[in-house]
Structure 1
């Protein structure tokens, strides 16, 4: 979960233009190896444990980061303002597809786990706003800032979930609440 969180944090800093960041150089490496490869491998490790949701979540979002970083390389995008219409449309389409995937993940967790429901909700909003920023002719930086802000919220939730899972599995000293909703049998 932390690979996802720190990659989203970095991407959010980029999206809001922190400290005059204009290029995607840092997110390409992080997206390929931390958010991509490490997370993809975590997804593969979750499947033998019987965690189908975790396997699908980590594998798909690991693949997202790899595909996003590869798309930036292939499209030759090096800053938000230097993208041409073809690059903006391509990245916007990529993000809208991932918004749809995230909506499906949201529907899968909304009645089971509050923290994952919040994570997928804010992550979906981030995708949607960022996709709109690529397609907008006016207010694109405002949309991008909002998408980045929701990315920060997503990253904080992901860090909390990761810390909760670490404490629960390794230390067993105390359980951090994640809002797990137990299903009752009728």
Structure 2
């Protein structure tokens, strides 16, 4: 009798439907954070356009470009990369964080010699710097072949940009650097377009700007 009473005293655990449990788990872990990609794309695009206006011989390099490279091209992209890490987006994390530090390192290459921290890099060192970033960009370009046509074009243009800039520095040919400047402006505008598309398409809930989904 005692065993029967004890059994009755133990609360019965209701059976849980596996489908309901899966739906509950999905609700609990659902990502509700904002898309950081437009921030990274705009930081990259705007800064790239401004720097390449200089490379094209249209404007000089000064505090405006250096500040953009340090804060919007640099810091903003790093923030976007960290946010992409939270969203488990390896490509976005690597791309935005790396190019953010690219901009900061580029500013350091210009500013450090002026403060006597280090000697200025010669043309061969700058060519190596640009070529190695071109190699890195080729890896990311290959990854974009699984994404959309707009980002594919942006990264293809970026690879071409690094190669042209590296050739311009290696040969000392100002014409190549100027051509790279105009190509870089197109690359930056492509990134701005992609960032704008992601913002507007999300806000309006429809395809305002097409990006060529595969």
Among residues 34, 47, 54, which one is paired with 1:7 in the alignment?
47
Q: Could you say if the C-alpha distance between residues 50 and 86 of structure 1 is closer, same or farther in structure 2, counting changes exceeding 3 Å? A: closer
Unmatched runs of 5 consecutive residues or more in structure 1: 78-83, 182-186
* TM score, norm. by length of structure 2: 0.74
Partner of 1:184: none
* Shift in Å, 1:29: 1.4
Of the structure 1 ranges 49-58 and 22-31, higher mean CA displacement relative to structure 2 is found in 22-31
State the distance in 1 between where 2:45 and 2:196 align. 11
* Shift in Å, 1:76: 3.9
Q: Could you say if the C-alpha distance between residues 37 and 86 of structure 1 is closer, same or farther in structure 2, counting changes exceeding 3 Å? A: closer
State the distance in 2 between where 1:86 and 1:35 align. 22
Matched, 1:54 2:92: yes
Whether the 8 Å CA contact 2:48–2:185 is kept in 1: the answer is yes
1:22-78 per-position Cα deviation (integer Å, ceiling 9, x unaligned): 43443221111110001111111111122221111111110110111111112449x
* TM score, norm. by length of structure 1: 0.84
Unmatched runs of 5 consecutive residues or more in structure 2: 1-40
Whether the 8 Å CA contact 2:109–2:121 is kept in 1: the answer is no
Q: Could you say if the C-alpha distance between residues 26 and 173 of structure 1 is closer, same or farther in structure 2, counting changes exceeding 3 Å? A: same
Aligned residues: 171
Among residues 168, 178, 195, which one is paired with 1:162 in the alignment?
195
Structure number with greater Rg is 2
Q: Could you say if the C-alpha distance between residues 174 and 107 of structure 1 is closer, same or farther in structure 2, counting changes exceeding 3 Å? A: closer
Whether the 8 Å CA contact 2:73–2:103 is kept in 1: the answer is yes
Q: 4+ residue stretches of structure 1 with deviation over 6 A?
A: none
Whether the 8 Å CA contact 1:14–1:24 is kept in 2: the answer is no
Partner of 2:33: none
Partner of 2:67: 29
1:89-111 per-position Cα deviation (integer Å, ceiling 9, x unaligned): 22222111110010001111124
* Shift in Å, 1:167: 1.5
Tell me how large the CA RMSD over aligned residues is. Answer: 2.0
